Every structure is written in structure tokens, then in C-alpha cells.
Structure 1
Amino acid sequence: MHETVAAPAHPPADVAPPRPPADGPLQNAPDTDDPSSGVPFPERPAGAHAAGAPPRPWWRRKAGLLLQLGVLLLAVVALPLYRDSLPDLGATWSSVAHADPGWLTVVVLAVAGSMGAFARLQRRLLRIGGLRMPLRRAFAITYAGNALSTTLPAGPAVSVVYTFRQFRRGGASAKLATAVILAGGVITTTVYSVIGLLALLLDPATQGPALTALAVPAVLLALLVPLLRWPRPRAVLTAPLRSAYRAALAHPKLGPWAERLAGVRDVLRPTRRDWAALIMLATLNWVLDILALLAAAHAVGIDVDPHAAALAYFAAQAAGSVLPLLPGGLGAVEGSMAASLVAFGAALSPAAAAVGLYRLVSYWGVVAAGWIAWLGLHEGPRLSAPARARLAWAGRAVLDGLTSTATLSPYSSVPLVVPAEARRP
């Protein structure tokens, strides 16, 4: 449900520092004796650009948006050509109207649980780094960041910057905020790959190719592990990696990225119990989202195996990344997911109904909650004090409800003490 985040780079020297939050200055400012601890995501004033560089033409600044609009226009123009292949709207609506309420409840709870697991994962990483963040604030940051990522052009990059700044405002140092974003992306992406591989191995049609693709790395791993136990072979085998790392540090553009990535180990030192909790939460993040799709299929009467639902889910995720017609993969995700369910034996109209119900909750519902959380974090437009107070109250009420449904791990009962300097007045 969450995209991989890229390592942040060092900012240009002429960029202004981030503005302080409305409720006070940033806590845990970077150490002045560490040149690599500067804020990696400063705010650039509107209209600012590199000193001496001419402003880019508007069409270059909006190239990504123009490309998306062009692809979307092309899809709309070609729509009549595929009219006979589209689902019948009457049959699709009938499937939605007669959906089983029990399975729909499972869809909602699974999506809330998936988001809750990711929020708890980031909160656990912050705790490993020495910062105890309230669960409600962790939920708000997760939902707001997801809304930015899935609704704005260049949303993933905007979401990373926003998440970093919210961690800083919550009391995290620049190093810790960067390390949490990097580590969270690596852990969730790794677990995502493992679950996708297991889904391929469980399906009879893809089991053979998956085993063949795994054979070569498995043999290499079996040969290398014994050699790594001896100092001299280990030095020879790791020499290329050390050389590549030194070359990356010397590169003007890759150097800051490599330096930040290496700094994660200094900030985060998880124990075995921490690793178990992080892996469990990352697994819940993906498994519960797949469960939501499976429940939506069962709600409209589609009998699909769990591994088939997982493959449909991963195919849709890939299509949304490769063919982003709109932010959030709108269009590509729905089409790929419905086509995958049809390939596994579902009729077209019920498959479209299942995908519609799933996306209504997992995308539109989560986006709506995310923008409410964004307002609740005092990031909204300039409003009067009474209007801001009412919006903040509504945001806190929604987040309290979401928090109460996401009791997904035994760590929810651990009392967390918020540092006095990080509390809101």
C-alpha cells in the first residue's frame, strides 16, 4: 500500500531552512558539530531557483502532469473501441447493491489494519531511535502522507518531504527522520517482494518459472555463505562492494545519498525483538491489504483463492507503477485488477464490482481520512480560529476512531511517554 521512498540528498547551500511549525520550533535540532546532519528537506520559497540559473519553461516544469493528461486523453478517445469489452454497468451495480455486509466489514477493517500496521512500523523505528511518538500522531502522519502520495503529481516525493518534516516537528533529529524513512522503505519493499514471490510459488501456473528464476541465486547463496565465515575469502568477496561504496561517496550526486544510507546504521540499532516486530508489522501491512481485496471479491460472490487474489493485487500494483494514468494509479490499477480476477475465473461484472468496492475503501476512503489528518496536523489553508478548531476536532475524532480499530500488535499496550518539549500546548 505504500511506495518505496528514495534516499534524500543534501540541499543546495542557498536554500532557506524550513519554517518553524505553528506550535513551536523544531525539536532536537541537528548537531552543529556534524556537517552531515543538516536538514535534507528544506523548504524553498515560492518561485525560487538556483542562483544564476534561468527559470525553466512552464512546459518543462509541468512535463509529468502533461504526460499524464495526454495518456488519459488517449485512453478516453480509445474508450469506444473497447466498448464491448467493458463490464455492464447494470450488472456491476447489481453486484454492488447485493454485496454481503459481513465481507464489506472485513474490507474496511483490513484496510484500517493495513494502514495501522504501517503507522506502527514507523512509530517503532522512531522508538528504536530514541523518540516516543503518540500513536494518534503516527496515524495522522501516515494517513496524511498517503493522501499526498496518491493524489498529487509527483506525490511520492512530496510525501517523503512531508513525512520528514512531520517527524522533525514531532521531536526527531534530521538523522533519525531520514533513517526512519529509509529503513521503513527498505523493510516494506523487502517484505513486499517476499510475499509476491510466495504468491508465485503457490500458483501452479507460475510455480515452475518462479523456481527456475530462484535456482541460480539460491545456488550462489549456498556457495557464498560458507566462504563468508573465513576472513580472507570474505575480504575478497566484499572488496567490490567496498570499492563501489567509496566511488559512490566520491561522486558529487551519489555521495550524499550513500552517506545518508550508511548513517542509518548509526542511528537505528534494532534488537532481535525489534526486528521481529518490524517484520511482523510490514507483513501485516501487505497481507491485510490483500485480504481486503479477497474480502471484496467474496462480498460479490467471487470464489477466488488467496494466492490468486495476491497475484491480482501485485499485478495491479505493477500496472499502477508502470502506467500511471492518474495519481494513485487510478485507471491502470482498476483495469489490471479486474482483468486478473477475470483470468482466475471471475465474470467481468462481478470482478468490476469487487475492484470498485475495494478501491472505494482502500483508495478513496483512505485519501479522505488522509486529508482530514492533514488538516488536523495544522497544515491546512489559513482559516479563522473557530473554523480551524472545528476542523482540528473533526480530525482528532476520525483519527481516534481509526486508532481504536487498529489493535494489530501486542505493542499497542506499551505505555509511551511523550517528551514534554514535543507536546502540543
Structure 2
Amino acid sequence: MHETVAAPAHPPADVASPRPLPDGPRRDGPDADEPSTSELFLDRPAGAHAADGAPQRPWWRRKAGLLLQWGVLLLALAALPLYRDSLPDLGAMWHSIRHADPGWMTMVVLAVAGSMGAFARLQRRLLRVGGLRMPLRRAFAITYAGNALSTTLPAGPAVSVVYTFRQFRRGGASAKLATAVILAGGVITTTTYTVIGLLALLVDADTRGPALAGLAVPAALLVLLVPLLRWPRPRALLTAPPRRAYRAALAHPTLGPWAERLAGIRDVLRPNRRDWAALITLATLNWVLDILALLAAAHAVGIDVDPHAAALAYFAAQAAGSVLPLLPGGLGAVEGSMAASLVAFGAALSPAAAAVGLYRLVSYWAVVAAGWIAWLGLHEGPRLPAKARARLAGAGRLVLDGLTSTATLSPYSAVPLVIPAEARRP
């Protein structure tokens, strides 16, 4: 479900911090696993520059992403009067929201919390495969904080990746392990997302034909390639271009360190069958529970929609949000596409808009609020007085305790995390 820099306050880049990092080793001593030059960019504190004397860019260039976001948002608001006849009736929407079924709304909240919890557990499981044990509450905090950065800031996904990398490092992960977890988690969730989307297309009678036609070409290629890969000479011919590209990347001064790190992922993460079963299950829960939240929101306002229709509406909204990435969290594009999809499946406009509004209230706004609380709880907030910081930390712990209580939704909540002592970095 899951992305300018929200800069945490840190000392300058050329001043070593005497304060040890939480839940991890000090970074001011020698480390045999220190990242390379390209990796140091990720570990460099926010606000540090490559050269102290480098000229600073004009403010409008530094804030270009934020200005562009606000410009698009203001244009969208200015265009609303032109489409007022096509908009849902606010009175009917409010009536549907006021009379929403409490049982279904409880299901919305639990499903969203379970979806976020599944992704947090997926990353935690990958860290465990790499030999690092991370507390469940910290894994939840990193997941929620990364989601808040990703969905509310300009260039949010990139900021979220850098932030998650830093938090994994502070939790004791090596640079290779942190990179491997981020990349492997993205590949697993994206693959699961694609499979669930294809299944939803195949279930619906109207989309089954186009989906099968689209799958015919890759299926035919797969049928032809699998026998060829069994013979040494055809296999060598087919794999020669990727091998040449990899060698060229290794020789490139900028791409070389990244190619080395990507190649080393399989040495860092070696999941067994039980790990794969857990990872695939958690990735599936991440998407299925989010779709279930939309389905429950629709039923809460009296819309009788099939599960595969809710899934198609969900994936259409995700696609619309990715096409218009300038708006934080796909605001406007996601809601409009989701409501239009529900209407296409037979729902009235005002109840459909009410269902989408309830779903987004929980899945976006509530999750973002919890994410910023988690961000403060991870000691990444502004410099505050000790009393205010203690109160915020207490509120953050309370929220995270409530979020981690949904861990019972995962069948892997009771799996003990045991790692050998030598897996820890010195």
C-alpha cells in the first residue's frame, strides 16, 4: 500500500557524533562493513553537502517539487466548479457516512492495520533471513514512518527508500543487508501485486478475454525458452547479453559499486522454503487486506459489490495514482478513479464517493498520521524540550503498541527469532 527530504536534525557531515545510534553500533569507529563511496551518500546526514564551499541553489529550485505539487493541487481545486454537475451530492455523501455500519467500519480499520503489519513483518522476516533480529515495534515504526514520507513529500518514494536504509543501518544491519531487504521486499510485493491483479482480471467475465490475450505472448515465449535453457549452447547465447551488460556496469565508475551490491544480494539473503512461504503469505496479506478494507468500506455504506470488482477498483486507483505522481499519495486521482470504478460496477455515485472517502480516511490519512508519530518516536523529529519530547515519545509508544496488537492477523506472529551471536556486527 505503500513513498524535500524531511530533514532530521543531525550534526554536520564533518563532525563525528559522540552519541551511539539507537539499537545499533556506533558509527564513529572502524567498521569492516562500511559502505563504499556511493553508499556513503545514503548514510550521510540530511543537509550535508559534498563541499562546504559549493554554491547553494536558489530557493525556488530547491522547493521545485513542493511548488509543483501545490500548483497542481490549486489547479485541480480551481477546476472543480467546471465539473460541479458531475460531482457527488455532498448531502447524500454525508448521510451515507453518518449511517455507515459500525461492524464493517471496524473491519476497515482492522484490515488496513493488518495490511501495514504484514508489510512490516515481511521486512522483519527478510532481516531475520539476513541474520539480524529487529524488535517488532521498531519494524512497525520504520514501516509507518517510511510510508508517511513516501506519500506526503515531493520525491517521497526516493526519500522513503533512503530513510528506510538509514533506519535498517541504525538497527544493526550492514549496508548490503539493508539494500538487499529493500530490493527483495520490493520485488516480492510487486510480483504478488501483479499476480493478484491478473487473477482479478481473469475472474471478471468482461476482462477475462483481454487478460488471456495479454498473457498469451509471454506464455508462448516462456514455453519456447524453457526447453532452450536446458541445452548449454542456447543457454550461453541467451545469457550472453545480460552478462556483457553486467561486466560493463562493473567497469563503470558510478554504476560499479551498485552492480557489486546487487550481485551480492544472493549471498546476504538465502531464504529456505519456510521463509519463502512466510514471505509470499505476508506479501499476499499486504495487498489482500488492503483490498478487503475497500470492500468493507463499500459494504459499510450499503454497496453490494463483489470481491473481484473491489479488487479491480483498487488496482485501477493504484494505476491512476502512479500516472499522476505529483500529488501526494495520489490525492484526487486515486479517489476519482476508485469512485468511478465502483460506479461502473453498479454503485450510485454518492454512496460510492462515501465508501471511497471512508476507505481513504483510514488507509491514507490515519496511516499517515500514525507514520509521522512513528517518525517522531524514532527520534527523527525536531529539537524539542525534554518534557514535550517525553510526551510525544509516550504517545508514539502507545500508538505503536496498538498497531502491533494487530500482529495476531499474521499466522507467523509466534515464530521465534533466533540468530547466532556471530551474525551481529562488532
TM-score over 0.5 (shorter chain): yes
Q: What CA deviation, in whole Å up to 9, does each residue of 1:265-321 have, x standing for no partner?
A: 111111111111111110100010001001000110111111111111111111111
Partner of 2:389: 388
Distance 2:136 2:329 in 1: 26
Q: Does 1:208 align with 2:209?
A: yes
**Is 2:416 the counterpart of 1:415?**
yes
Q: Which moved more, 1:196-205 or 1:38-47?
A: 38-47
Gaps of 5+ in 2: 4-11
1:172–1:356 distance in 2 versus 1, CA, 3 Å: same
Q: Provide the C-alpha distance between the structure 1 equivalents of 2:278 and 2:414, rounded to a whole number of angstroms.
A: 14
Match of 1:217 in 2: 218
SS at structure 2 position matched to 1:269: coil
Q: Deviations over 1:317-372 (max 9, x none)?
A: 11111113531111111111111111111111000100000001001111111111
Change (3 A) 1:327 1:224: same
Q: Give the 3 Å change call, closer, same or farther, for CA 107–401 of structure 1 in structure 2.
A: same
Could you give the per-residue CA deviations for residues 177-211 of structure 1, whole angstroms, max 9, x where no partner exists? Answer: 11111111111111111111111111222111111
Give the AA of the match of 1:164: F
> Quick one: distance in 1 between partners of 2:236 and 2:32?
34
Say how many residue pairs are matched.
Answer: 413
Q: Could you say which residue in structure 2 is the equivalent of 1:135?
A: 136
SS of the equivalent of 1:411 reads: coil
Residue aligning to 2:352: 351
Q: Which residue of structure 2 lines up, in the alignment, with residue 68 of structure 1?
A: 69
Distance 1:33 1:86 in 2: 55
> What TM-score, normalized by structure 2, do the two folds share?
0.90
TM-score by length of 1: 0.90
- 1 CA distance for matches of 2:172 and 2:316? 39
Partner of 2:7: none
Moved more, 60-69 or 70-79: 60-69
Which residue number in structure 1 is paired with residue 9 of structure 2? Answer: none
Cα-to-partner distance string for 1:224-282 (whole Å, 9 max, x where unaligned): 11221222221121111111222222334433332222121111111111111111110
Structure-to-structure mapping, 1:281-300, within 5 angstroms: 281-300=282-301
How far the C-alpha of 1:44 sits from its partner, in A, is: 4.6
Q: Which residue of 2 aligns with 1:26?
A: 25
Please say if residues 187 and 279 of structure 1, whose CA atoms lie closer than 8 Å, have aligned partners that are also in contact. yes
Deviation at residue 45 of structure 1 after TM alignment: 5.7
The 1-side partners of 2:254 and 2:15 are apart by 21
Between the aligned partners of 1:402 and 1:110, the Cα distance in structure 2 is 12
- Quote the sequence identity (%): 83
Structure 1 gap ranges (5+): 4-13
Q: What does residue 144 of structure 1 align with?
A: 145
Q: Does the CA contact (< 8 Å) of 2:293 and 2:359 recur in 1?
A: yes
Q: Distance in 1 between matches of 2:419 and 2:142?
A: 16
2:72·2:327 contact (CA, 8 Å) conserved in 1?
no
SS in 2 for 1:410: coil
Residue type of the alignment partner of 1:263: G
For the Cα contact (< 8 Å) 2:131–2:420, is it kept in 1?
A: no
The answer to whether the 8 Å contact 1:200/1:206 transfers is yes
| Partner SS state of residue 41, structure 1 | helix
Note closer, same or farther for the CA distance 1:16–1:175 as it changes in structure 2 (3 Å cut): farther
CA contact (8 A) 1:296 1:357 kept: yes
User: Distance in 1 between the 2:304 and 2:353 partners?
Assistant: 14
Find the residue that maps to 2:264 and give its secondary structure: helix
Cα distance in structure 1, aligned partners of 2:343 and 2:16: 49
Provide the residue aligned with 1:8 in structure 2: none
- Partners of 1:78 and 1:222 in 2: CA distance: 51
> 1:192-207 to 2 correspondence within 5 Å?
192-207=193-208
Q: What is the CA–CA distance in structure 1 between the aligned matches of 2:53 and 2:64, rounded to whole Å? A: 23
The amino acid of 2:2's aligned partner reads H
Deviation of the 1:406 alpha carbon: 2.4
| SS of 2:42 mapped into structure 1 | coil
Equivalence for 1:153: 154
